[in-house]
Amino acid sequence: MGKTVLITGAASGFGRGVAFGLARRGHKAIASCQIWPQVTELRSAAKAEGIELQVIKLDVLSEIDRAKALELDIDVLHNNAGIMESGPMAEIPMAVFRSVFETNVFAALALAQGFARKMVQRGSGRIVWTSSVAGLVKVPFDGAYAASKHAVEGICSAMHEELKPYGVEVVTVNPGAFRTGFNDTGMESMDQWWSQGERVVAHWPVRELNKQHDPAEMIAAIIDVIEARDPPYRTVRPATAEEMVRKEQADIWERKASEA
């Protein structure tokens, strides 16, 4: 039987791919977008492909939008909306740092709390958080985003244990570097403020992101997690990223303060 799934941040990237994929597989996918022009574009794209897709406006930072979304009855929340702001931790403006946490942590948690309460009352449901490999390892020059995803990891591990007795499942999906455009613009984001003051720490070295993976792999993995009867708590893709995470987490126990 098909599931009713709300996907946040579905205008592009993983969210869009998951929404289309779920709809094609017979689920009731509800794709949410931050702004109205994205809603219009996504509806047109779905219609052009003959896909039955419900598209709504949901700016996760908006209390009004979140309240409207919470009127929905869903089986699964895919908490996917997020932003990336880059820059060395010694230089990144606090307003920029806070903006990352407002979207990736606080707004996402507010939405998860609202649906968790409904799921607990019903005795079933699943919350799938898009975390990141950046939430599991060190990421120089992308510390704000990594810190927000480390926070997501802490939230999810707690929610997993807290909601398990009520029949509500909490799991994470942790993408590495995929060609969605998210990483490219995230790297570029620090250029907006870098020249607006005296800097003492180096800029992120300019380099082409030419080793990113096909997002279809991650999209398929997320759909599997949403559909599975008993999915793993954590799903990391690609496999090389999982290997890197496991090695770095083991190595960190022996790391010295002077080591990179």
Is 145 one of the annotated active-site residues of the chain? Answer: yes
Tokens of 252: 């960190």
CA–CA gap between residue 79 and residue 75 (Å, rounded): 13
* Of 91, 95, 86, 98, residue with least CA distance to 198: 91
CA–CA gap between residue 33 and residue 12 (Å, rounded): 9
Tokens of 41: 């574009």
For 122, other C-beta atoms within 10 Å of its C-beta total 13
Exposed (0-12), middle (13-18) or buried (19+): which is 41, by Cβ within 10 Å? Answer: middle
Which of 97, 145, 178, 182 is an active site residue?
145
CA–CA gap between residue 241 and residue 177 (Å, rounded): 9
Which DSSP helix (H) or strand (E) runs through 173? strand 168-175
Q: Would you please indicate which residues are annotated as catalytic (active-site) residues? A: 145
